[in-house]
Amino acid sequence: MAMLADEAAGVIFDMDGVVTDTASVHAAAWKRMFDAFLEARSEATDVPVVPFDIESDYRRFVDGKPRNDGVRSFLASRGISVPEGGPEDSPDAATVQGLGLRKNRYFLEGLHETGPRPYPSTVELVHALAVEGLPSAVISSSRNAKEVLEAAGLGRLFDVRVDGVVAADLGLAGKPHPAVFREAARRMGVAVPRAAVVEDALAGVQAGRDGGFCQVIGVDRTGDPEALRRAGADTVVTDLGELELPDRTWAGRRIDGLPSALDHVGEIEVRLASRQLALFLDYDGTLTPIVDDPDRAILPESAREAIRRLAALAPLAIVSGRDLAEVRRFVGIEGIWYAGSHGFDIVSPTGERHERIPEALPTLESAERDLRPRLDPIPGARLERKRYAITAHYRQVAGDRIRDVEDAVAATAATHPGLRPTGGKKILELRPDIAWDKGRAIRWLLDTQGLDRRSVLPLYVGDDETDEDGFRAIGRPGIGIVVRGESDDRPTRALFALDRPAEVPVLLDLLREVIGRPRDRRCPGGSCDA
C-alpha cells in the first residue's frame, strides 16, 4: 500500500486515465487520425507508412498534452511539418488545426459508442478525501472534460475543475508545464507545496514534478511503472485503491454544508458497479421525523414499501436506539436484521437473538429507580426505560431547567459506575459502560453475514450524534448519509446529506433501480473498471 503525503491539504487528479478510462478512447482517436494522415501522405510522396503506435507514440508524444501540441509533437518525431492553419480550418485540412479537429471528431464518435468508463477506486478516494475535509480538483487538457464527467455520472464529484476551456481562457500553457495544476491548487485554496498531484501521463507527472507540489502520484495503467518514476513520480500505484490516507487530526465538514445524496447518485452508482450494497438505516429522525411523543413516530407506508423492495435485493438492517421489540413493531417488515438499543440487542431475519451484555440489566434497573424521582419534579422531563438504556427526554423542558436534567443524569451516573452517560437530539442516556455502539454493531452485522470484505459497499443513513459511530465504522469503503434536522451544523463524518426523512425512500428507490440493473450497466457512462 502507498500513502498520501501527510502534508497534503488537497489533491489534484488528471481526468483521462485517472478518473475515467477515456485515455483508451483518446488513443484510438489519435491512431485513427494519424494513420489516415500518414497513409494519404505516403500515397502522395511514396514515403513508407509507419503507423502510429499506441503503446509508445501515444505516451511519449500526445498523452496529457493539449490537442494541437500533441499534433505538433508527434509530427516532429517523424520529421514532418505541416502548416499551422487556423480555427476556421476543416477537420479534413492537412494543418495542425485541421488534424486536431479531426482527432476531436473521432474522439467524440468513440466516446458516443463506448461511453466514459469511470474508475470506482478513484471515486472512492475522492469521497474519502471529502470526508476528511480535504478538497479535490480535476484537470484536463480536453475541452470536453465537463461533458465527459457528466456522462460518467461524476459532474459534481470534484470541488474544482480546470480543463481545456479554462486553460484557453486564461492562456495557461499545457503539460508538461505545471500551469494548470497550479491554477487548480489556487482555486482549491491550497498552497502548491501542500497539494498532491495524481497523474498517469508522463507529461503530467513531469508537470507535477516541476511545479513544486508536495507529492506526485503516478497511476500505472500500462505496466511500465519505471517510466513514471523516471518522469518524476514520488509514488507509483496500479490503482488508487492502493493509496491510503495518513492518520491525522480530522478536519471534517459540517452537516449544513454537505451536498445532497440525491444529486450524487451517479457517484454511488459508479462505486456499486464493482461492489455489493449492504444497507443500514436508523429509525427516529431518519425514517420518521423527530416528534415530541416517540410513540407517534409512525413509519410512513412509502418508506416501509421502499425498505421492503430494497431488502429483496440487498442485505438490510435497521439500527436504532429504540428497544428491539419496539423498533420491530414500528417497522413491521420480516426477513431483515434489527439492532435495537444502539446494537446491544440484535435479532436476525430468522429470529435468532443476540444480546450483548444481559448482565447489565440489574444495574440499569437500579439506575432507573434512582433517576425517575430526580426527573419527576422537572416540568416536561420524561424518562423512557429501554432494555439497554435509560433515556431522559428534555425536548419539552424549559431552557432554564435543562441544566437540572443534566445534573440529574450526571448524579445517577456517578452512583452507577457500570453505566456511562451519552447524548443525542434533546436526550441524555445511560448505557452499559462497554466499548459498544451503533458503529460496532454494524461491524458485527457485516462480519456475521460475511460482508466484511472489499467487495461490499456499506451505506448507513442516520441523523443523530449516535449515528456518527456508524459513519466512522464503515470508514473509507462505506458511504455515510446524514438526514439534516433543525439547525444541524455539527461536524460529521457523513459524505452526503438528505434534507428530511421524506427523502430517504426516494434514495432507497434510486438505489433499488441501480442494483436491479445488470452489473455491467450500473455505471452511468458504461462499464466501470474494478
Percent of the residues in the chain that have a pLDDT greater than 90, as a whole number: 77
pLDDT of 522 > 70? The answer is no
Q: What is the CATH number of the domain that holds 396?
A: 3.30.70.1020
Q: Determine the pLDDT at residue 386.
A: 85
The reply to whether 46 falls in a domain is yes
The residue-averaged pLDDT of 47-56 equals: 89
Same structural domain for residues 207 and 158? yes
Domain that holds residue 135: 2-21+116-244
Q: What is the CATH number of the domain that holds 136?
A: 3.40.50.1000
DSSP characters over 260-327 = BGGG-HHHHHHHHTTSEEEEEE--BTTTB---SSGGG-PPPHHHHHHHHHHHTTS-EEEE-SS-HHHH
Q: How many domains does the chain have?
A: 4
Contact by Cβ (8 Å): 216, 233 = yes
pLDDT of 154 > 80? The answer is yes
The reply to whether 249 falls in a domain is no
Closest CA to 300 of 488, 434, 134, 501: 501
Q: Determine the pLDDT at residue 528.
A: 62
Same structural domain for residues 155 and 12? yes
The residue-averaged pLDDT of 196-219 equals: 97
Same structural domain for residues 480 and 508? yes
pLDDT of 530 > 50? The answer is no
Same structural domain for residues 444 and 395? no
Q: Determine the pLDDT at residue 411.
A: 95
Catalytic residues: 282
Same structural domain for residues 311 and 457? yes
Same structural domain for residues 422 and 461? no
- CB atoms under 10 Å from CB of 225, counted, come to 15
- CB atoms under 10 Å from CB of 351, counted, come to 7
The reply to whether 418 falls in a domain is yes
Total residue length of the chain: 530
The residue-averaged pLDDT of 12-30 equals: 91
CA–CA distance from 129 to each of 1, 244, 515 (Å)? 17, 10, 25
Edge-first strand order for the sheet with 382-386 is 382-386, 389-393, 427-432, 419-424
β-pairing, 253-254 vs 491-492, is antiparallel
User: Where would I find the beta strands (DSSP E) of 312-445?
Assistant: 316-319, 337-340, 345-347, 353-355, 382-386, 389-393, 419-424, 427-432
394 vs 424 pLDDT, higher one: 394
The residue-averaged pLDDT of 257-268 equals: 96
Which triple of cell numbers denotes residue 509? Answer: 428507490
pLDDT of 291 > 70? The answer is yes
Closest CA to 58 of 105, 22, 94, 86: 22
Q: Omega into 91 within 30° of 0, i.e. cis?
A: no
Closest CA to 257 of 507, 488, 479: 488
Which triple of cell numbers denotes residue 176? Answer: 508538461
Same structural domain for residues 122 and 184? yes
Q: Determine the pLDDT at residue 64.
A: 79
The reply to whether 527 falls in a domain is no
Q: Determine the pLDDT at residue 116.
A: 86
Q: Which residues pair with 422 in a beta bridge?
A: 429
Q: 107: pLDDT confidence band, cut at 50, 70 and 90?
A: confident
Q: 523: pLDDT confidence band, cut at 50, 70 and 90?
A: low
Same structural domain for residues 239 and 351? no
The reply to whether 251 falls in a domain is no
The residue-averaged pLDDT of 131-137 equals: 96
Average pLDDT, the chain: 92
Q: 521: pLDDT confidence band, cut at 50, 70 and 90?
A: low
Q: Determine the pLDDT at residue 331.
A: 97
End position of a domain, from candidates 380, 397, 432: 432
